[in-house]
């Protein structure tokens, strides 16, 4: 529920309404705006009677929000959120960022070599999986803590912030020690205990859309993180599951401008997982930026044909370099638009 | 990888092959059969060279299994697994079971009343959610531990085993204290850390299919549990996400006979979540049994119109009673078939 | 739009309202019921102003139907429609029918042999494609008119009514000469010119659901046929297209009881195309009947391994015979229910 | 089947092989290339024995194509096809085109006004539906022949080529009289009789992808047109049907670069039908061009709020003008790339 105050409501009015709301057992979150102040009511299960509230001084109207999210919506927070990842700014109005790296950390040589190359080509962050969610238990599950340590070495060598996946609430402390941006994978988008735990830390989160998540469910998942107090969340479209098998998933690029209308959070795109095909990564990365994405996440590997996972969708070094040149030109074009 | 031994291979042959496999860094799991012994090779990441193995005494052939599961497959384990839930047997050849109860535990009166009614109508187990996964954080999330205690009271009052959802690895101990059958919900089907934790306990697991999980991914998720040592797993089809919105999900009933061919594990069906409509629950429950399901899970509530969640798909008491009568007749018909 | 008359409205009232409606440029279709008469308004594009109508004598209220179908809905026609296919009755309350035959007519020997066997096992109609819709132009497209002639021979030899596909408005006359039930395939469900043409003939139509058609679109497609004057339409669920590839399509069996609520038309199920796997046909045929289907359509071929199309999903003769025995028992059970 | 000749095979070799193929009852289509000649074998149903062919002079190898299309594939025709629509060139290497106009032709004023505005803003063709496929029979079905005449007036007034939909084989002659580019809508993508008829005329065809068509089925549908002799086919991605309802369909933009790899035919994108939301049209049109599309199709209406169909997805005049300015800049950027 959203309580919209009059243009000329006083701070005392706002405080009084907030006290009443708290007295009803809910949380009240004032949302000051340039034209009006609104008070978000959180913690209610279902409909809240509004007749008493409407009579309070300074109250203009009450909006019963049926949507499962509030803090992430533009209604509650009209200004764009800029997420700061160890100094790299992500969000509307910032230069779009490129996150590059292998699907999985495999060895020190592999990750350091890649990190240096990503940096050299102008990439902004290094990605690499240490904990890998795999369909079956009998395949490579990542180097785990050892992988985190190698990422730290590569991050230090290149100066790039580190992006890596977190799979379990138990590991939040461990991963947060090494990562500058903690990634929640598509399979865990509705792992609510994990989301709540990530809401309690003070590091930014990259939340990937679930394979069959609607836009509403995607934003509601982000709401779990914000509701615990962490508003440094970057969304990431990575393809949805459809009947089409010519690509690994179906990149739902239209949600980029749509989500920008609905939320103040930044959104990035992962064309590697979305398409599953190396040759489609660069065109879709550029299309994502033109559609308004705040950045892209791409897989790059020194020897994709020997990669332990996701080889066919990983760019080679020359492929990554070429894409970066084209993205550079495109970014300049877009910023002069 | 599966190493198939000759008909007349000796125990010494099997032991020798197993030692070699272990020496290669893998686990060897002998699978004695009535006609042949096979040795499952577990723990390999990718293809394993087989030229040395093929020359060992007693080896007939090597099957490179590309599937992400082995222990759950009929190849590895041809006989049907019967799962024992506090004395209630579930599986091929057993009388199909009916699990009834509300979506969420709401009060002692509600859950005890429902438990007694389910028991009186011939139901086999009581279901009820204490930990509820909800799309957004601002709606009812379940009574949590308090809910578990109410379930225990209702279980004791009715004599029915308890089925309830587990959402996080951290809560496995707590939930296992109260539940006879621990349910993994659709959203957590690929919460691999949770699955691994459940593989380490000695209570049966009800694993629901993910909303966009293929049959192969579903079986591979079960494999995570079996791989840790717990083979008491019941699968549950609960509808998949498709373009059709006339029903809440699309009940994929064809997978029941298909999964019976692929695995030895029992499979149940949840027509309440699948259809989302009260009037469709009874026809689809009966169709599920005819298709070969080992049981059904249905929602029933003393006052569905006041339910805190899933009211429209919950059966009323008279509706549940009528369904139970029809299922009784159908079960007798099927057993005489 | 639906104009509901008072309980005690006179025939003159109904006639007067109808005249007014016609004067507005629309068609008026009185729908006498046991308790009330309603007048369906057809031919309007969009919303119709109702203020004048509401003041007419005998008018109780006006229902603005936003659904794209009226004639097929239970609101307009509460009683079940029974379709008569050359003497075989199909619909709620009738014995469920079995339609058997090969995917395509291949030779006189093949189709006559199959027809005699279907008849001998108790099947009700013979199916066989003469015009075959194929994904690409370079594969077998059916024997066309020659196929129709062979169907006629097989129909005569066995005494079974003939079901065959019609693909084009131009061929309606030709196919109607040979077929007792004209089938519209999934790809043509929204071939509106074909549907209109079929609405003008006096032979029953079997309308298959499109691969990605919602229930509403399915019923609206049937509406095209009824709107032209032919109400002898049987619906047929044959699987929808989803992400799951373990079966050819996903059989959406829940729509059987759902569609029964929404429309008075009979509905059949085709488990052969839905599953694409021989072993799943019989269990899903029986599940369909328990869910309330008025009949099933299954593929059977004397030598499935040599079939020019759809071999893997065709039953063998022994398989068909076994399924018919089980369906017989089930039908008796259901009728005694 | 594709017969690949040796580098130094003679014209006599090619002719001899072609004769043999024809003698087997198939069509032989020589495909001269810069490095090799290949001979396409068409008209076979299933596998063709190749042992005799392999022994012929000049034959290097035989490729058994399992794909349901040949003429549309790059293997058969490596060079890009440029389609000429009344002087406007469409295809790889040409300036991307913009087709604008209302969903349906409603009146002379509406269509002429729109045509002049589209032309003034730099649009390349005028679109407008005269025959409208609608879900149900009781809604506006288009002005039919009258609509075609109004399109002709608007085309003449503006000098723009006309794009309009064809729904039935019977109307091919009529529509071809007025249209410069005949559009096959998504619902008719597998209306094979219509496709065959369009293969016999000498006007270019715009083939829209079916709502649940795979890329392979899409190309195979185009094959029907080419197989009859008309190679002037433009493909059009217009969104597929998925679980997501936040947009009308899901724009599958990744197929643009993918289809460019698979076929020599041009591909356009329709962001209006794909997204169903006015605000998403311009960003997705630009993203499509960056992904490599040869043009875009957008709906524009003088008064979208009064449109008889598709109002919410139609651009206003100022919206179209703004998009055209941005597309102009983008096109110049891309051509200098």
Ordered by start, the domain boundaries in chain D are 2-63, 83-335
Cβ atoms within 10 Å, residue D145: 15
- For residues D3-24, give the mean pLDDT: 88
What proportions of chain B, in percent to the nearest 5, are helix, strand and coil?
40, 20, 40
- For residues A179-192, give the mean pLDDT: 97
pLDDT band of B168, cuts 50, 70, 90? very high
Most confident of B137-141, B168-172, C28-32, D53-57: B168-172
Cβ atoms within 10 Å, residue A141: 18
Report whether pLDDT(B31) > 90.
no
Contact B289, B100 (CB under 8 A): no
How does pLDDT run across A31-78, given as a tens digit for each residue? 776 667 878 787 665 556 677 788 888 998 777 656 788 899 988 899
Percent of chain D whose pLDDT exceeds 70: 96
pLDDT given at position D173? 96
pLDDT given at position C95? 97
Mutate to test the interface with B, among C254, C258, C283 (most CBs of B within 10 A): C254
pLDDT given at position D65? 57
- For residues D194-205, give the mean pLDDT: 97
Report whether pLDDT(D42) > 80.
no
Distance (Å, whole) CA D247 – CA D10: 56
Distance (Å, whole) CA C182 – CA D246: 38
Residue C181: both structure tokens together: 């039930």
User: pLDDT higher for B69 or A158?
Assistant: A158
Distance (Å, whole) CA D147 – CA D144: 5
B246 part of contact set with chain D, CB < 8 Å: no
What residue in D sits closest to A292 (Cα-Cα)? D283
D335 part of contact set with chain B, CB < 8 Å: no
Report whether pLDDT(A293) > 60.
yes
pLDDT given at position A45? 57
D215 part of contact set with chain A, CB < 8 Å: yes
pLDDT band of D22, cuts 50, 70, 90? confident
Interface of A with D in 284-323 (CB under 8 A): 284, 286-288, 290-292
Task: With beta carbons under 8 A apart, name residues in chain A contacting B67.
Answer: 136
How does pLDDT run across A103-151, given as a tens digit for each residue? 999 999 999 999 999 999 999 999 999 999 999 887 788 999 999 999 9
End-to-end CA gap in chain D: 39
Contact D170 C167 (CB under 8 A): no
A245 part of contact set with chain C, CB < 8 Å: yes
pLDDT given at position B65? 57
What residue in D sits closest to A261 (Cα-Cα)? D279
Strand-pair partners of C267: C235
Distance (Å, whole) CA D80 – CA D184: 22
Q: How far is C45 from chain D (nearest CA, A)?
A: 5
Percent of chain C whose pLDDT exceeds 70: 96
Report whether pLDDT(C66) > 70.
no
How does pLDDT run across B191-233, given as a tens digit for each residue? 999 999 999 999 999 999 999 999 999 999 999 999 999 999 9
Report whether pLDDT(B13) > 80.
yes
Fold matches, B2-63 and B83-335:
no
Contact A206, A226 (CB under 8 A): no
Contact D241 B245 (CB under 8 A): no
How does pLDDT run across A306-330, given as a tens digit for each residue? 887 788 899 999 999 999 999 999 9
Task: With beta carbons under 8 A apart, name residues in chain C contacting A245.
Answer: 245
Strands D295-299 and D83-85: unpaired
Q: Which residues contact D165 (CB under 8 A, 6 or more apart)?
A: D129, D130, D131, D132, D133, D182, D183, D184, D185
* C83-335: CATH topology: TIM Barrel (3.20.20)
How does pLDDT run across D64-121, given as a tens digit for each residue? 656 788 899 988 899 999 999 999 999 999 999 999 999 999 999 999 999 999 999 9
pLDDT given at position D41? 81
Give SS3 for C203: coil
pLDDT band of D307, cuts 50, 70, 90? confident
Report whether pLDDT(A337) > 80.
no
**CATH class of the region B2-63:** alpha beta
Chain B: touching chains (3 or more CB pairs < 8 Å): A, C, D
Distance (Å, whole) CA C67 – CA C216: 8
- For residues A84-91, give the mean pLDDT: 98
Distance (Å, whole) CA C169 – CA C172: 5
pLDDT band of C167, cuts 50, 70, 90? very high
pLDDT given at position A294? 98
Which helix (DSSP H) or strand (DSSP E) does residue A220 occupy?
helix A215-227
C87 part of contact set with chain D, CB < 8 Å: no
Task: Report the phi/psi class of residue A288: left, alpha or beta, with left for phi > 0 and alpha for psi in -120 to 50.
Answer: alpha
Q: Which residues contact A323 (CB under 8 A, 6 or more apart)?
A: A281, A282, A285, A298, A315
Phi first, then psi: what are they for D174, rounded to 5°?
A: -60, -50
pLDDT band of C266, cuts 50, 70, 90? very high
pLDDT given at position C44? 65
What residue in B sits closest to C332 (Cα-Cα)? B333
What residue in B sits closest to A184 (Cα-Cα)? B191
pLDDT given at position A65? 57
Report whether pLDDT(C159) > 80.
yes
Mutate to test the interface with A, among C210, C240, C243 (most CBs of A within 10 A): C243
Weakest mean pLDDT among A92-96, A280-284, B75-79, D211-215: B75-79
B217 part of contact set with chain A, CB < 8 Å: yes
pLDDT given at position D31? 75
Task: With beta carbons under 8 A apart, name residues in chain A contacting C245.
Answer: 245
Q: Which residues contact D311 (CB under 8 A, 6 or more apart)?
A: D301, D304, D305
Contact D275 A252 (CB under 8 A): no
pLDDT given at position A52? 78
Q: Which residues contact A89 (CB under 8 A, 6 or more apart)?
A: A82, A83
Taking the C-alpha atoms of B254, B256, B258 and B263 in order, what is their torsion angle to the nearest 10 degrees?
A: 160
- For residues C10-16, give the mean pLDDT: 91
Report whether pLDDT(B66) > 90.
no
Contact A171, A130 (CB under 8 A): no
How does pLDDT run across D225-274, given as a tens digit for each residue? 999 999 999 999 999 999 999 999 999 999 999 999 999 999 999 999 99
Contact A268, A295 (CB under 8 A): yes
pLDDT given at position B285? 98
Task: With beta carbons under 8 A apart, name residues in chain D contacting B241.
Answer: 243
Give SS3 for A267: strand
């Amino acid at each position: 529920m959203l309580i919209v105050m009059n243009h000329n409501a006083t701070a005392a009015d706002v405080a009084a309404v907030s006290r009443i709301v708290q007295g009803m057992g809910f949380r009240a979150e004032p949302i000051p705006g340039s034209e009006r102040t609104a008070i978000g009511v959180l913690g209610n299960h279902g409909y809240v009677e509004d007749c008493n509230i409407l009579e309070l001084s300074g109250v203009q109207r009450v909006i019963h929000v049926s949507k499962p999210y509030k803090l992430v919506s533009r209604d509650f927070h009209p200004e764009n959120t800029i997420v700061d990842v160890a100094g790299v700014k992500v969000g509307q109005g910032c230069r779009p960022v490129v996150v590059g790296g292998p699907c999985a950390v495999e060895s020190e040589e592999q990750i350091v070599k890649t990190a240096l190359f990503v940096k050299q080509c102008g990439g902004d962050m290094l990605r690499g999986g240490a904990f890998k969610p795999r369909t079956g238990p009998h395949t490579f599950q990542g180097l785990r803590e050892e992988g985190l340590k190698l990422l730290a070495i590569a991050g230090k060598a290149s100066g790039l912030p580190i992006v890596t996946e977190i799979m379990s609430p138990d590991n939040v402390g461990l991963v947060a020690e090494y990562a500058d941006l903690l990634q929640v994978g598509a399979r865990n988008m509705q792992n609510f205990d994990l989301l709540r735990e990530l809401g309690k830390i003070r590091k930014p989160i990259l939340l990937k859309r679930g394979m069959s998540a609607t836009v509403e469910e995607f934003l509601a998942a982000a709401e779990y993180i914000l509701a615990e107090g962490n508003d440094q969340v970057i969304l990431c479209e990575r393809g949805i599951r459809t009947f089409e098998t010519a690509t690994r998933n179906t990149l739902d690029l239209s949600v980029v401008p749509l989500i920008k209308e609905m939320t103040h959070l930044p959104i990035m795109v992962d064309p590697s997982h979305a398409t599953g095909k190396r040759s489609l990564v660069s065109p879709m990365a550029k299309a994502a930026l033109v559609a308004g994405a705040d950045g892209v996440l791409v897989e790059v590997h020194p020897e994709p044909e020997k990669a332990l996972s996701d080889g066919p969708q990983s760019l080679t070094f020359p492929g990554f370099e070429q894409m970066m040149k084209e993205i550079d030109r495109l970014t300049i074009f877009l910023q002069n638009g």
